[in-house]
Structure 1
Amino acid sequence: MSADARARTAALREAFATRVVVADGAMGTMLQAQEPTLEDFEQLEGCNEILNITRPDIVRSVHEEYFAAGVDCVETNTFGANHAALGEYDIAHRVHELSEAGARIARESADAFAARDGRTRWVLGSIGPGTKLPTLGHAPFTVLRDAYQQNAEGLLAGGADALIVETTQDLLQTKASVLGARRALDALGHDLPLIVSVTVETTGTMLLGSEIGAALTALEPLGIDMIGLNCATGPAEMSEHLRYLARHARIQLSCMPNAGLPVLGKDGAHYPLGAPELADAQENFVRDYGLSLVGGCCGTTPEHLRQVADRVRGLTPPARRPHPEPAAASLYQSVAFRQDTAYMAIGERTNANG
């Protein structure tokens, strides 16, 4: 790492520890709004990561809109730069290339804004979930892990200041992402914050049935720096899960909700939560749960994040006093180690998850 990169990392860790850091919002819809052509996609329609090579100007414009709105950091356009997602376009061999290009565009944008006013901006390297769930046997764990390492190495080469494993739905896939990212950090000699953001559905669990306690028990020991929630729901549905994390997590917390639950209308789906409502929710989450990182996900716009940034700027997250519980977790739930006089009955059966 260069001296400048080390200084940015130290400043980001200090910011996480002392104030609220604001990230950006939705990326995909902002890209699609600029109507890239089939040629821009190299005939791979919908593969947004290709735009890092063919139309960096479009990608850069999205970062610039969010920085202009007042955010501290942006995520790279690399949500699908992994083995599973790129494999569906038969370009899995381009994981590193597209990851590095996406990080470099965001780095250039962040540095340009920092040069204007002297305020440091950061780049979060986005590591998305892909489309394969290893728990269900969709892909081998080691194949996914090694591809996530390529993803992370590309992000580091392009200048990311932190890595965010986001929108995770399967704890085994999450572990593959975290271990791949950790291998990349070790291989390149980098020491960056590693963030994990899980997705909890309206059912109250992750897609494969994991409740938030199972996620915390499984992921915190992997040495991550921050855990939080993003996507699937609006802030209202995230509150109880954040309450649990605030009570039990030893590490810092984040939250990047959608702009509410999508509503289907004659013109398709739209997200109903306005910018003031999102700002209200994020301010309350900071005050109630001590969040270190806030942002937005599907349906959120630069205006949403402008109001969030205005609302939380100057707030100091209250000190949390977590009460972690030693526990073991299955795929579904966490069971605390508590000694009592009763025995624990464990029943097993064959089921659809194997």
Structure 2
Amino acid sequence: MTRESFWDLIENRKILFLDGATGTNLMKKGLPAGACTEEWILENPDVIKELQKSYVDAGSDIIYAPTFTGNRIKLKNFGLEDRIEEINTKLVQIAKDSAGDKSLVAGDITMTGRQLKPMGDLDFEELIDVYKEQIKILDKAGCDLLVVETMMSLQECRAALIAAKEVSDIAVMVTLTFESDGRTLFGTDAATAAIVMESLGAAAVGANCGTGPDNMASIIADMASVTSIPIIAKPNAGLPVVTKDGSTEYDMECAVFVPEMEKLLRAGASIIGGCCGTTPEYINGIYEKYRDFSVDEVLGEKESYLEYPDGTLFTRKKEGIRYLTSERMNVAFGLDDPFMIVGERINPTGKKKLQAELREGKLDMICDFVSQQEEDGAAILDVNVGMSGIDEKQMMSDVLDEIIPLTSLPLCIDTSDEATMEMALRKYPGRALINSISLEKDKAERFLPLAKKYGAMFIALPVGPKGLPGSLEEKHEIIEQLCDKAYEIGLRKEDIVVDGLVATIGANPDAALETLSTIAFCKKNGLATICGLSNISFGLPQRAFINTAFLTMAIANGLTMAICNPSQELLVNSAFASDLLRHKEESDLRYIERMNRYDGMTVQVSCVPKGQKLVAQSISQDALNPAVIDKNTKNNVKNNVPSSGEYKEEKSLTQMFYDKVKTDVMKGNKRSIEKDTLEAVDAGCVPKTLLNDVLMPAINEVGDLFDKGKYFLPQLIASAEAMKLSIAKLEPLLNEADGNEDKKKETIIIATVHGDIHDIGKNLVALMLKNHGFNVIDLGKDVPSEKIVDTAVAENACIIALSALMTTTMQEMKNVVRIAKEKSCNAKIIIGGAVVTEDYAWEIGADGYSSDAANCVRVVKNIIQNV
């Protein structure tokens, strides 16, 4: 079944019904915790057949083949990787036999359990190959479609979709699992995930697991508000609880679950089913209640499907809105929305110092440009590393690895090399903008398919086969030809941003008028526009005035965005003022927020003598107060010369190094923190002070930012790793200062419980605890309960920290608590993981619960202090 035929099915049926839980139901039938589910099913085929036939009879239009962990990485944990084709093929056949001619069968795919670089050791291309292998088997075995489910990483979703595109034309549904804050474990929000999945060609997108239907509605609404493809909702039957007999159940009964599902339909879902804790009874309940349900009929003429908790209304995707994304945020814009800046500074052209750094493999300036441009108001960052003397493809890859964790802003990939462009689009975990595609040298034929394949937007540069257009009419003809080529391969008007192609007025007095005419022409035809500004004033004096005047005129004619340096305050502030004067949405708030950077200051822009640079000076209000300044100071202020009283006392050398090391931790700067730490010590910084007054407060601040949703998992890991490197350099010096006395450290045993092979959360907790001075013994993943307790007793541990990511394995935590009591283990037990709740911790008799790695440090310290 192709994506188009899948959409036809939805159009005819209005609502499709999926199946319910597999794992939790198999456990009730004897599936042991920690066993390979696929192997157990093949040994007990009648159990899965009975369950799946019950789902078909209950009303499921699609049932999932039990191939969830059938990739070679997962199977390798059980020594079964050589049987991957046999296992997947037989499991699909069982599902097809169960479905008969009543239901479709979806080949089920999920995460591998290994983490992608730089957080783990798995290369992105290797992951694509892993998914390709399983997808080819599932397709050959006769699956009607694919589902990529219970995903926590947007990049892993991308890998699965790219793999599917390259080996099959089968329709692919994708569902992610979101935390209580509405983001995945890796920090991706629902809207961003949906945008990226639609742009990459998913047939449907949605959410599964993690929560019940009552708490999933806003996630579904966020997805529906930015996409036009079908939305999937497959919630749990509430939250897991421990019953009186010690088993784990879910707290939402069918009689409650079924009516709650209406919220998801009203939020925009058209494909519904159940996840953990649901049974055929649940599926039959929603089928009977909603098989004739029509959202349009219920709403009538209302545009809104749902009210968010804050009372705001939700609507489906609006026409004409464009989206660019990173992994953690999206930028939405229409033709009448506020003007946007594409930061131009990550480009070695004309920057000798940056060129020298790139040749040395140093990326310090690149990272500085990222943070500075984001701070100065850029909405998108252009990335160009093209220069002589380097491998552009490898350098682009290195730069992306470095800056993706640093910024949430979407990227504009700027290269004329086809191989470099494909590599960048392939690995970028978001929806990028291509800079740029023209009609010269078959560039459109080579680059437009890349935009289509990887779901990117692109800048259409109106340059023809013979070069620059000779007239305004020819320029517009080239624009139309470029658009037609894009439409032919399935791209849309909303995927295109046209470059106004700015020439210099020094050579062509009509250059500005022609560009303004092109911008107006594009807006009239529903196309977004962009331009570079610097060409317009080339060769003329006081260029800032020309550039600024031109920009405000271009905005008035409909310019969507411009590539420029966002630190040029005269230019950028004029753009914000132009939006304000044109009464663009929220432009008043944006202008005021922009001007808050001058709080207590008066901005003066003055003409300067020939040969000097024009700058916007920020002068303090006190400096302009006649009561506190003399005549000479007034003259200095008037001429933009700071008076002697305005200079602040410089920081001490040691304080400068303290700040540098702290910044390294805050930014996760693993490249230079070791060097900066040693230089700080050489400059006179005390190692103990560096640890206690710099590193510890820095990582605590990172934890606070993580708790507030301002930092996300990649940043938290990068900061923790950077701190680890710094501590490794300080440790010998600290021991030497203490007379080499071994201070007793509290011992913590940490492990992912038996049957669970996920360890990213556990690894981060271990790293954070080590950074805070604890003696951490990491037993790894899939650790038998007896071994965990025995190690804690042998090591006289004060804490046992347990992690689980699946509802089918979290029950093993209860066994650890029981065994610890039986063996009189004195260690306190704390638990955590994506599916674990605080209530569950108290129900099984644990001593503490942690929601994340940063919080775990606080929980451990609190327990130790109160022992």
Matched letter for residue 131 of structure 2:
Y
Q: 1:200 to 1:281 in 2, by over 3 A?
A: same
Equivalent residue number for residue 340 of structure 1: 339
Give yes or no for contact 1:290–1:318 (8 Å, CA) kept in 2.
Answer: no
Pick from 83, 95, 98: which aligns with 2:72?
A: 83
Question: Does residue 1:304 correspond to 2:282, yes or no?
Answer: yes
Equivalent residue number for residue 139 of structure 1: 122
| Alpha-carbon shift at residue 176 of structure 1 (Å) | 1.1
Give yes or no for contact 1:128–1:165 (8 Å, CA) kept in 2.
Answer: yes
Distance in 2, Cα, partners of 1:268 & 1:134 = 35
Question: Does residue 1:130 correspond to 2:129, yes or no?
Answer: no
Give yes or no for contact 1:95–1:147 (8 Å, CA) kept in 2.
Answer: no
Pick from 257, 263, 274: which aligns with 1:284?
A: 263
| Alpha-carbon shift at residue 75 of structure 1 (Å) | 0.5
**Local SS of the residue matching 1:134:** coil
Matched letter for residue 40 of structure 2:
L
**Local SS of the residue matching 1:248:** coil
Q: 1:353 to 1:36 in 2, by over 3 A?
A: closer
| Alpha-carbon shift at residue 342 of structure 1 (Å) | 7.4
Q: 1:308 to 1:222 in 2, by over 3 A?
A: same
Q: 1:326 to 1:74 in 2, by over 3 A?
A: same
Question: Does residue 1:68 correspond to 2:57, yes or no?
Answer: yes
**Local SS of the residue matching 2:108:** strand
Question: Does residue 1:195 correspond to 2:173, yes or no?
Answer: yes
Distance in 2, Cα, partners of 1:16 & 1:235 = 21
Give yes or no for contact 1:196–1:227 (8 Å, CA) kept in 2.
Answer: yes
Give yes or no for contact 2:268–2:316 (8 Å, CA) kept in 1.
Answer: no
Mapping 1:254-293, distance limit 5 Å: 254-266=232-244, 267-286=246-265, 288-293=266-271
| Alpha-carbon shift at residue 329 of structure 1 (Å) | 2.1
Distance in 1, Cα, partners of 2:135 & 2:40 = 19
Give yes or no for contact 1:162–1:192 (8 Å, CA) kept in 2.
Answer: yes
**Local SS of the residue matching 1:32:** helix
Equivalent residue number for residue 159 of structure 2: 176
**Local SS of the residue matching 2:48:** helix
Distance in 2, Cα, partners of 1:89 & 1:258 = 28
Give yes or no for contact 1:80–1:130 (8 Å, CA) kept in 2.
Answer: yes
Distance in 2, Cα, partners of 1:254 & 1:45 = 29
Matched letter for residue 15 of structure 2:
V
Distance in 1, Cα, partners of 2:260 & 2:286 = 9
Percent of aligned pairs with the same amino acid: 27
| Alpha-carbon shift at residue 50 of structure 1 (Å) | 1.2
Comparing 263-272 with 250-259, greater Cα deviation is found at 263-272
Q: 1:45 to 1:221 in 2, by over 3 A?
A: same
Mapping 1:108-119, distance limit 5 Å: 108-111=97-100, 114=101
Give yes or no for contact 1:292–1:317 (8 Å, CA) kept in 2.
Answer: no
Q: 1:343 to 1:331 in 2, by over 3 A?
A: closer
| Alpha-carbon shift at residue 72 of structure 1 (Å) | 1.8
Give yes or no for contact 1:13–1:193 (8 Å, CA) kept in 2.
Answer: no
| Alpha-carbon shift at residue 88 of structure 1 (Å) | 1.7
| Alpha-carbon shift at residue 353 of structure 1 (Å) | 4.3
Give yes or no for contact 1:259–1:274 (8 Å, CA) kept in 2.
Answer: yes
- Per-residue CA deviation, residues 242-299 of structure 1 (Å, 9 max, x unaligned), is 111121112111100001122345524321111122211223322x133221000001
Equivalent residue number for residue 82 of structure 2: 93
Question: Does residue 1:233 correspond to 2:216, yes or no?
Answer: no
Give yes or no for contact 2:39–2:87 (8 Å, CA) kept in 1.
Answer: yes
**Local SS of the residue matching 1:346:** helix
- Per-residue CA deviation, residues 200-243 of structure 1 (Å, 9 max, x unaligned), is 11132101111112212322211111110000111122111111
Mapping 1:14-25, distance limit 5 Å: 14-18=8-12, 19-25=14-20
Distance in 1, Cα, partners of 2:210 & 2:327 = 19
**Local SS of the residue matching 1:263:** strand
Distance in 1, Cα, partners of 2:20 & 2:268 = 20
Question: Does residue 1:327 correspond to 2:323, yes or no?
Answer: yes
Equivalent residue number for residue 117 of structure 1: none
TM-score, with normalisation over the residues of structure 2? 0.36
**Local SS of the residue matching 2:283:** helix
Q: 1:154 to 1:342 in 2, by over 3 A?
A: closer
| Alpha-carbon shift at residue 169 of structure 1 (Å) | 0.2
Give yes or no for contact 2:187–2:328 (8 Å, CA) kept in 1.
Answer: yes
| Alpha-carbon shift at residue 33 of structure 1 (Å) | 2.1
Give yes or no for contact 2:214–2:263 (8 Å, CA) kept in 1.
Answer: no
Question: Does residue 1:54 correspond to 2:43, yes or no?
Answer: yes
Q: Please identify the structure whose Cα radius of gyration is greater.
A: 2
**Local SS of the residue matching 1:195:** strand
Q: 1:341 to 1:45 in 2, by over 3 A?
A: closer
Give yes or no for contact 2:216–2:264 (8 Å, CA) kept in 1.
Answer: no
Mapping 1:21-60, distance limit 5 Å: 21-35=16-30, 46-60=35-49
Equivalent residue number for residue 606 of structure 2: none
Distance in 1, Cα, partners of 2:189 & 2:137 = 32
Which structure is richer in relative contact order (CA contacts within 8 A, separation 6 or more)?
Answer: 1
Give yes or no for contact 2:194–2:206 (8 Å, CA) kept in 1.
Answer: no
Pick from 156, 167, 183: which aligns with 2:150?
A: 167
Give yes or no for contact 1:226–1:253 (8 Å, CA) kept in 2.
Answer: yes
| Alpha-carbon shift at residue 108 of structure 1 (Å) | 1.3
Q: For structure 2, list consecutive stretches of 5 or more residues without a partner in the other structure.
A: 298-314, 344-372, 376-405, 407-666, 669-714, 719-867
Mapping 1:309-320, distance limit 5 Å: 309-318=287-296
Give yes or no for contact 1:99–1:152 (8 Å, CA) kept in 2.
Answer: no
Matched letter for residue 130 of structure 2:
A
Matched letter for residue 263 of structure 1:
V
- Per-residue CA deviation, residues 151-206 of structure 1 (Å, 9 max, x unaligned), is 11222222211111111101111111111222231xxxxx4321110111113210
| Alpha-carbon shift at residue 131 of structure 1 (Å) | 1.3
| Alpha-carbon shift at residue 16 of structure 1 (Å) | 1.4
Distance in 1, Cα, partners of 2:327 & 2:268 = 27
Pick from 182, 202, 207: which aligns with 1:224?
A: 202
Matched letter for residue 165 of structure 1:
V
Q: 1:302 to 1:341 in 2, by over 3 A?
A: closer
Q: 1:56 to 1:275 in 2, by over 3 A?
A: same
**Local SS of the residue matching 1:315:** coil
| Alpha-carbon shift at residue 57 of structure 1 (Å) | 2.1
Comparing 152-161 with 88-97, greater Cα deviation is found at 88-97
Q: 1:90 to 1:228 in 2, by over 3 A?
A: same
Distance in 2, Cα, partners of 1:284 & 1:330 = 29
Q: 1:72 to 1:342 in 2, by over 3 A?
A: closer
Question: Does residue 1:121 correspond to 2:103, yes or no?
Answer: yes
Equivalent residue number for residue 104 of structure 1: 93
